[in-house]
Structure 1
Amino acid sequence: MSKVLYIKANIKLEGVSRTFQVSDHFIEEYKKQHPEDEVVVLDLYKENIDFLRPEDLEAMADINDETKKNTTFLKYAFQFAEADKYVIAAPMWNLGSPAILKAYFDYITITGITFHYTAEGPKGLLQNKKAVHIVARGGEYGNAPYEMGDRYVKTILGFLGVSDIQTIAIENLDIIGADVEAKVKEGKEKAGLVAKEF
C-alpha cells in the first residue's frame, strides 16, 4: 500500500479552481485504480501555512525532540518524508506558483528529514518516490524561459531526491475566445491517463 499526499495550493474553491477540477479528477481516477492506497489531502490555505519565524529556525536545529514532531511546523516535513507519492495542485500565478507553496517547501526542506549533507554536498533523502504537478495557466508558458512555477517545483523535489516527476498543464485558459470547458476536459482526460500509471 502506498501513501499519497495530495497538496492543494490555491485559495479558490473546488468547482471554481480550474487546477482543482483537474487535480480532483486525477485523485478520483487514482482511487479507482489503486483502492488499497491511502490518500491524505493537505490544503495549504486551510492549514494556515505561514512564513518561517525565528522560533521555527530553533526547531530546525533539534529535529530529534519528540515533543516538536507534532506540535511545530516540523510535522509537515515528517509527513512529507513518510509519503510515497505526491500530487501537487497549484496554478500559475504571476509566472510562478502561489507564495504559500514556496512557504510550504520551506517547511519541509529540513536537514535530516528530507535531505542531508554529505562530503560531496547535499543529497535528497526521498529516493524512489514519484510526484505529479498539476497546474492551470492563463497562457502558453510550457517552454517559456520565464515560467518559474513548474520549474521550481521540479527543482526542489529533485533536490529532495524525487526524480520521477510529471507535469499536467492546462494552458491558454485566459486567451480571448478560449474554450475553457474543452481545455479543462482535455486536462481531465490526460489526468485520468496519468493516474492509471502513477
Structure 2
Amino acid sequence: MATLLHIRSSIFGDSGQSSVLANDFITQWHLNHDKAEVVTRDLISDPLPLLDAELVSALVSSAESRTAKQQSIVNLANRLLAEVRSADQILIGVPMYNFGIPVQMKAWFDLLARSGVTFKYTDQGSVGLLEDKPVVLIATRGGQYKDGGYDFQIPFVKQFLGFLGLKDVRTVYAEGLNMGEPTQAESLSAARAELQS
C-alpha cells in the first residue's frame, strides 16, 4: 500500500490555494494508487514548538540525561521523523508569506534536522541520512517571483530537504494569485495540469 505524507501549512486552512491544489493532487493520487493511504500533518491546526534553547538541548541530549519535558520533545520529533520515513511520497504545500516559508513549516524543519539521525558531518561535508523519495512542493504566491530572482523560498526548502537526503524534489508553481482574476485562473489551471502529469 502506497503512503503519501501531506504537509499543510496554509494559515487559511482548506481555503488556502496550496491546500486546494494539494487536495487536487491527493484526489489524483487515490486514483493512481489502490488502497493508498494519506497521512496529513497540519502545521497550522496542530502547531509545533518553535526552536529555542530547550528544544535544541533536548534533541542533542542523551536518553539517560533528559528531563521529562525534553523527552516529550524527542518523542514528538521521533513521530515527525517516522511519518517522513514511512511515506512513499511527500507532498508539501508551500505558501509564501512575506517572501518566506510559514514559520510553522520552519518549526517542522527544525524538529527534523537532527545530527546523527537525519544528517551527519564528514570530512567531505554533510551527508543526509534519510532515504530519498519523491517530494512534490506546491508553491503558491500572490506575486511573481520564480523568474525574477526574488524566490528565496523554494531554494531554501530544496536545500534543506537535500541536506537530509531528500533530493528527488519537483516544484509546481502557482504565481500571481493576487494579480487579478485572469492571472489567478490561468496560474491555477496550469498548476493543476502540472500536478496531474
TM over 0.5: yes
In structure 2, what residue type is equivalent to 1:10? S
Q: Which residue of 1 aligns with 2:26?
A: 27
Q: Which runs of 5+ in 2 are unaligned?
A: 65-70
- Residue identity in the other structure for 2:52: R
Q: How many residues align?
A: 192
1:196 is aligned to none
Amino acid at match of 2:137: H
Aligned to 2:13, the other structure's residue is in SS state coil
3-state SS of 1:168 partner: strand
Match of 1:130 among 127, 130, 134: 134
Q: Percent identity among equivalent residues?
A: 29
Q: Determine the structure 2 residue equivalent to 1:184.
A: 188
What does residue 67 of structure 2 align with? none
Q: Distance in 2 between matches of 1:63 and 1:18?
A: 42
1:162 matched to 2:166 = yes
Q: Work out the CA distance in 2 between the residues paired with 1:3 and 1:116.
A: 27
For residue 90 of structure 1, give the secondary structure of its aligned residue in structure 2: strand
Specify the code of the residue in structure 2 equivalent to 1:8.
R
Post-superposition Cα deviations, 1:25-74, rounded to whole Å, max 9, x if no partner, equal 00110111012332210000122123123332232124767x65874344
Give 1:182 shift: 4.1
Give unmatched runs, 5+ long, in structure 1.
194-198
Give 1:3's aligned residue.
3
Task: Write out per-residue CA displacement over residues 108-162 of structure 1, whole angstroms, 9 at most, x where no aligned residue.
Answer: 1112322122332320012331101001111221123221111111110111111
Compare 121-130 and 171-180 and name the one that shifted more: 171-180
Further displaced range: 26-35 or 112-121:
112-121
Kindly provide the CA deviation profile for residues 65-87 of structure 1, in whole angstroms up to 9, marking residues without a partner as x.
7x658743442233323333211
Q: What do you get for the CA RMSD once the two structures are aligned? A: 2.3
Distance in 2, Cα, partners of 1:141 & 1:40 = 30
More divergent stretch after superposition (164-173 vs 32-41)? 32-41
Specify which structure has the bigger relative contact order, considering alpha-carbon pairs within 8 angstroms and separated by 6 or more residues: 1
Change (3 A) 1:121 1:68: farther
> 2:152 is matched with which residue?
148
Taking the aligned partners of 1:2 and 1:55, their CA distance within structure 2 comes to 36
